[in-house]
Structure 1
Amino acid sequence: MIQPTFALTEKQTEANAILASPARHILLRGGSRSGKTFLICRALLIRALKAKGSTHAVLRQHFNHLKFSVIFDTMPKVARLCYPGLDLHLDKTDWFHELPNGSRIIYGGLDDKERADKILGQEHSSIFLNEASQISYGARNKAVTRLAQTSGLALKEYVDCNPPSVSHWTYRLWYQKVEPNGGEELADPEAYASIQMNPADNLANLPDTYLTQLQSLPEKDRKRFLHGEFLAQVDNALWSLDILDRKRERRWGSESERQALIERMQRIVVAIDPSGCAGVEDQRSDEIGLVVCGVDFAGQGYILEDLSGRYSPEGWARVAISAFESWRADTIIAERNFGGAMVESTIRTASQYAPVKLVTASRGKKVRAEPVAALYEQGKITHVGAFPEIEEQYLNFSTAGYQGGRSPDRADAAVWGLTELIVEQVSLIELYSRLAG
């Protein structure tokens, strides 16, 4: 075996000890250019060289990002610096690096379902989730089930990220040591290990001006990309993580459990917050907020499913109709301001029968969100599972307005749905009471 010659920094040496520890699930989190991805790629090469014919999967949300960051950059750099002379062959048809001993490091983007399914149809000795802030907890769980290869290596999940908010599943697993979907304590907390790595720990490998560039970022970005901290809720936030956790239920584990959940509901709606997104490759536009909400016979509201994403108009209409049918919903709620009649026409093209109610954003996002936030404060809304993207957007609402970087598309859709199911009904009841009085 070719011996590595690359010298690790002090922090990388500390992190490397964690990577080699008995822990099965390892998170490297921290600021930008701190060496997280480099170190995990190095660990994958070591493992691949050690176990002949072993396979190791590297997954990221978007394949194009993975291709230019890891496949063409970090992994070849690791091989060149740590294993000079190593023959690392890249197959650009099936996208894997093959080592001389027959081991493979296989790459895939979760945005390519066919490719991702092919990778997750195999067994692996290692799974690396690159920039996990963009990856859903459900996708992570599916990937972990493929840690099943008998290669003589201990099975390992590696994760790296620039820390998102405290509502993200990475924070809940590695720092709160709880199951993100239900809040139960982990059965094996000792299997989860993590370390914080920041660019200040990697100065020997950075341009002289890099830290200065990061220090000039806005405070929120500086906290994440320079200091590597998970983002807490904003000042005077309308929501808190404690409030979101207060009435959380475990996500259904089977179709029969989902059907039982449907039977508990008095009403279910599919709420849509459209955008100008043209499809999955359109990274400039906001996502389509698409959230399934319900209310039970006692008046308790529920977030049931988040199907938001980057869809073409025809794509989000098909997803909405599918959700309408599978959840046995009674109405599709859609915000009319973006495209007006086009929104209803798009849905009608997908189905002639689903009832559609168009709503108008006559007030600002904060004003619409406040009565829904009050329902959460009163314990009247339950999340069935974890919805990290919605919850992160909730945590960025404050009394001064929305403080997030992009549009709160998912939170907007959830607010529309819960407003239809509960807020407007409470308002009508109060109106009738005053008239009767």
Structure 2
Amino acid sequence: MSRGRAKRRLAEDFADPSVMGLEQIRAEIAELVRADELSARRWACEVPDCDGLPHAGWLHRHARAAQRRPGWLWTVWMMLTGRGWGKTRTAAEAVREWAQTPGLQIVVVAKNATLVRDICFESPKSGLLAVIPPDQVAKYNSSLGDTVLKLKNGTVIRGFGAETPDNLRGWAFDKAWMDEYAAWSRHTAQEVYDMVWFCLREAEMPQVVISTTPKPLPHVKKLYERGRAQEQRAREGGDPPRVVLTRGHMRENDANLSPAARAELEEDYAGTRLGRQELSGELLEDVEGALWKGWMLEVEGFRPRREHLPDMQRVVIGVDPATKSHEDADMTAFTVAGRAFPIETLYGDDRPRGYLLHAEQDRYTPTGAMRRAAQLYHEHQADCVVIEANNGGEYLPALLEQVDPTVNWRIVHATRGKRARAAPAAQLYEQARVSHVGPARVFAELEGQMTTFVGQGETEDSPDLLDSAVWALWDLFLDPAMPPPRGGDDQRLSGRR
């Protein structure tokens, strides 16, 4: 029934106002308003391919077809979608529908206790308090670390942070919502997921809805592979999947997004590896044999803001030069990298970390390349320019001195294959000791080279940006003449070499 029809129906049921008392008129109006509010809170219509926009019988915006809960018996519904697709609202609506059953115990888990409260419960447009009618709420406690929503029908919804798995011990729940599962710490995420399922062990019909932007992390990929295998069996005539995967692009929700914000996101991410993940909702697959795996670029703290960085102990400019400058020649690549000790240590790891501050490549004449290296040297207050001198590039330091005699330089020679040289640098990423600082677009080409580089000799394109990054990291971390530990005096660059 449409909101308009509901109003007319109630109006027809009015008694003659001339014989009604004031309180009776107020009660009738209150009932009309309540019916209108309830109609506007409806979420899922039955139009097969509905786009969620108003139509006959549904005069408000509501669920698109992809946002409806699966219509068969499932245990996990995993929404792997781009930013702005509407996954938080969809999950909150699923919890609201569950909560209509009296006496249920529902758990909501997010990355930390603050996000549980601020996003899952109190988000003005998509939180539980926004979708559950106020007259159904008996009590809401929003103290940090103890977020609890109690409904008048006896259903209780509790919020937990995913930082400490043991906080879930001893609880028993019927349903669960896990928000931004891919953002949880990779050190605890799988254990928290398992703990939630232990909490569901006595449920009559246990179900978990997961809302997340996908990241190629082990705990996400494990569940994703289960869902894909079950989808394949269903296509071959087997049972419907119990782990249901819903994928979606940000553009599917254009009608509810700010055009200005959408344009900004497209500007930052479109055409990048990160854009495929953050906008398109793709779970990026690893290339077999690649040294860099996708999860290495998604660990917590991988993309810090520049203002949050510690003081750099050293900064270097890694240069992978092209020896020719015609239009089909290789690019000259530059990577700016720093080395510092973290302000805060995670899991007792107080080793120095690497920070890639900038990466670029273009075609230059040899003199132009050295001029650009000098510019980056001064712009980033670097200690040294590290130049690969293979393929006849030994003359480049002389050019650099002509361009700017104040620049310290160091020349390096490749004595091993690209894969053997890159492997130790990849291990630094595997240890979560390297971060990329700045807009994702700056590192899009470099990250693409990292995640696709296998090292198959002459059959594989030369990864110029990757080479420049490897040279910079070798100088900062892997050279036998590394600077001394924290507080030491680095004498390596007292003169040019």
Decide whether aligned partners of structure 1 residues 319 and 142 sit closer, same or farther in structure 2, where only a CA change above 3 A counts: farther
After TM superposition, give the deviation of residue 214 of structure 1 in Å: 2.2
Say whether 1:203 aligns with 2:254.
yes
Gaps of 5+ in 2: 1-34, 45-49, 53-62, 230-238, 311-340, 356-384, 388-413, 437-446, 454-462, 481-497
Q: Which has the higher contact order (CA 8 A, sep 6+)?
A: 1
| CA–CA separation in structure 2 for the residues paired with 1:75 and 1:150 | 33
| CA–CA separation in structure 2 for the residues paired with 1:235 and 1:215 | 29
Partner of 1:34: 85
| CA–CA separation in structure 1 for the residues paired with 2:435 and 2:225 | 17
Task: Pick one of 51, 57, 73 that aligns with 1:10.
Answer: 51
| CA–CA separation in structure 2 for the residues paired with 1:235 and 1:15 | 32
Partner of 2:396: none
Decide whether aligned partners of structure 1 residues 231 and 49 sit closer, same or farther in structure 2, where only a CA change above 3 A counts: same
Decide whether aligned partners of structure 1 residues 334 and 150 sit closer, same or farther in structure 2, where only a CA change above 3 A counts: closer
Say whether 1:44 aligns with 2:95.
yes
| CA–CA separation in structure 1 for the residues paired with 2:159 and 2:342 | 24
After TM superposition, give the deviation of residue 73 of structure 1 in Å: 0.7
Spell out the pairing of 1:22-421 with structure 2 (5 A cutoff): 22-52=73-103, 54-73=104-123, 77-81=127-131, 83=133, 85-87=135-137, 89-93=139-143, 94-111=146-163, 113=164, 117-135=166-184, 136=186, 137-148=189-200, 150=202, 152=204, 154-165=205-216, 167-175=217-225, 177=227, 190-218=241-269, 219-220=271-272, 221-232=274-285, 238-239=291-292, 284=308, 319=348, 334-335=351-352, 370-371=419-420, 397=450, 399-401=463-465
After TM superposition, give the deviation of residue 177 of structure 1 in Å: 4.9
Decide whether aligned partners of structure 1 residues 127 and 7 sit closer, same or farther in structure 2, where only a CA change above 3 A counts: closer
Decide whether aligned partners of structure 1 residues 39 and 91 sit closer, same or farther in structure 2, where only a CA change above 3 A counts: same
Q: Deviations over 1:122-146 (max 9, x none)?
A: 1111222211112234234333333
Pairs aligned (count): 291
Q: Which residue identity is paired with 1:141?
A: Y
| CA–CA separation in structure 2 for the residues paired with 1:157 and 1:170 | 14
Q: Which residue identity is paired with 2:105?
A: T
| CA–CA separation in structure 2 for the residues paired with 1:142 and 1:158 | 14
**SS at 1:95 equivalent:** strand
| CA–CA separation in structure 2 for the residues paired with 1:372 and 1:57 | 48
**SS at 1:163 equivalent:** coil
**SS at 1:47 equivalent:** helix
Q: Which residue identity is paired with 2:178?
A: L
| CA–CA separation in structure 2 for the residues paired with 1:337 and 1:79 | 43
After TM superposition, give the deviation of residue 88 of structure 1 in Å: 5.9
Aligned-residue Cα RMSD (Å) equals 5.1
Residue identity over aligned pairs, in percent, reads 14
Could you tell me the TM-score, scaled by structure 1's length? 0.52
Higher Cα Rg, which structure: 2
Is the CA contact 2:190–2:219 (under 8 Å) kept in the aligned structure 1? no
| CA–CA separation in structure 2 for the residues paired with 1:336 and 1:107 | 34
After TM superposition, give the deviation of residue 195 of structure 1 in Å: 0.7
Is the CA contact 2:215–2:283 (under 8 Å) kept in the aligned structure 1? yes
Decide whether aligned partners of structure 1 residues 372 and 140 sit closer, same or farther in structure 2, where only a CA change above 3 A counts: farther
Decide whether aligned partners of structure 1 residues 147 and 210 sit closer, same or farther in structure 2, where only a CA change above 3 A counts: same
| CA–CA separation in structure 2 for the residues paired with 1:105 and 1:21 | 24
Is the CA contact 2:110–2:181 (under 8 Å) kept in the aligned structure 1? yes
**SS at 1:92 equivalent:** strand
| CA–CA separation in structure 2 for the residues paired with 1:107 and 1:200 | 30
Gaps of 5+ in 1: 180-187, 245-273, 287-309, 321-332, 339-361, 382-386, 421-437
Q: Which residue identity is paired with 1:39?
A: T
Decide whether aligned partners of structure 1 residues 68 and 337 sit closer, same or farther in structure 2, where only a CA change above 3 A counts: closer
Partner of 2:493: none
Could you tell me the TM-score, scaled by structure 2's length? 0.46
After TM superposition, give the deviation of residue 370 of structure 1 in Å: 4.3
Is the CA contact 1:96–1:105 (under 8 Å) kept in the aligned structure 2? yes
Is the CA contact 2:176–2:208 (under 8 Å) kept in the aligned structure 1? yes
After TM superposition, give the deviation of residue 36 of structure 1 in Å: 0.5
